[in-house]
Structure 1
Amino acid sequence: MTKFTVPTKNEVSENNQVIFDNLEKALGFVPNLYAVIAYSRNGLERFLTYQNAKTSLTAKEKEAVNLVVSQVNSCVYCQSAHLVLGKLNGFSDEELHDIRLIKSKDSKLNALVTLAADITKNRGKISDISLQEFFLQGYTKENLVDLILQISDKTAMNYLHNLTKVEVDFPLAPGV
């Protein structure tokens, strides 16, 4: 099996070195999975631009989607990262646990995580029930498009970690 190591700053392009510096300033470290993206000369900049683009989803909704998609895709790295980020965005431990189980006591958030899980599990070929509930809870077609884009963002990272298996540099997500 091919072993992936995390590239150091000196092993990546000059453009990626600048991004590493910016991540270090913003986060205090360069997450291992972002460093792996830097194997591509343009990949890290491209991904961060996509990831940080404006969306109709709130930061909290994005974190819920990130966590449930990572759960469905069995990505321990992203589950671990989004448990930390979920808490920073106001979720309690109980709420994060529920999201990983594809549920929420909040009916609107429940519709969002249910649809996100359905889209992820079924590669977009979803049940009409989850889509109807999404719209009944006040979400719009704009939100649906942004949800799909958020799922694609997280799925890319999930696949990257599931393939490379680089070391998780966040507190390890417990099983559910």
Structure 2
Amino acid sequence: MNTLKPLSLEEANENSQAILKAVKGKIGMVPNLYATMGASDKLLGGFLTFTETLKSGEFTNKEYEAIALATSQANECAYCLSAHTTLGKMNGFTEEETLQLRYNTIEDTKLNALVTLVSEVVNQKGHPSQDAIDTFFSTGYTKTAFAELLGAVALTTITNNVYHNGGFEIDFPKAQNIEQLQEV
């Protein structure tokens, strides 16, 4: 169902316009996801602020993208898989590694513990197995990282839900193996 749609700058309220103009100035475009989130300046502004805050936390940019890829895979979001595959490659992952992160098969033990826990958090509705938690900690992650992981999963789930309820095209190079997930 396409309840939401991307707003043009003219359609957005004054606060959303300012936020969208700042996004365009920073990254050179306004992704359809953000233009859609702009239906609420509180959602868009709060999302971007919380994202910036979490990205200054425990995880590297690569780890943050791994979290986003695993969350988007579990939530079956073609848009976010495409966006985070692009961002993951910009942060040093290969195309093959982005697929391995999505399917919890990456050889890097620490990254695999991360994406396995993320997948369980999403698929088990916030109740990952003790084994996944123990493995996460045994690879060197802390309770602070665990708390921030929950926040990053929540943020990515917001974007996944906006896409699932939006009527917009994917404006990033399309990730592999998303054909069955595309609704637009």
TM-score range, shorter chain: over 0.9
Give the CA RMSD over aligned residues: 1.3
Aligned position for 1:35? 35
* TM alignment of 1:48-67, pairs within 5 A: 48-53=48-53, 54-67=56-69
Runs of 5+ unmatched residues, structure 2: 179-184
CA distance in 2 between partners of 1:55 and 1:36 (Å):
27
Quick check: 1:154 aligned with 2:160?
no
Corresponding residue for residue 133 of structure 1:
135
SS of 2:41's partner is coil
In structure 2, C-alpha distance between the alignment counterparts of 1:41 and 1:124, rounded to whole Å: 28
The letter for the 1-side match of 2:113 is A
Residue of structure 2 aligned with 1:94, choices 93, 96, 101: 96
Aligned letter for 2:47?
F
In structure 1, distance between residues paired with 2:166 and 2:126: 25
* 2: CA distance, partners of 1:126 / 1:42: 30
1:145-176 CA-to-partner distances (Å, cap 9, x unmatched) read 00000000000110111121421111112217
Describe the superposition over 1:15-41 as per-residue Cα deviations: whole angstroms up to 9, x where unpaired. 211211111111111000111111113
The normalised TM-score by structure 2 is 0.91
List structure 1 runs of 4+ shifted beyond 6 angstroms: none
Please report the TM-score for the alignment, with normalisation by the length of structure 1. 0.95
Question: What is the CA–CA distance in structure 1 between the aligned matches of 2:171 and 2:95, rounded to whole Å?
Answer: 20
CA distance in 1, matches of 2:41, 2:97: 38
Identity value in percent: 38
1:51-80 Cα shifts (integer Å, max 9, x gaps): 111321111100000011001100000000
Does the 8 Å contact 2:102/2:115 carry over to 1? no
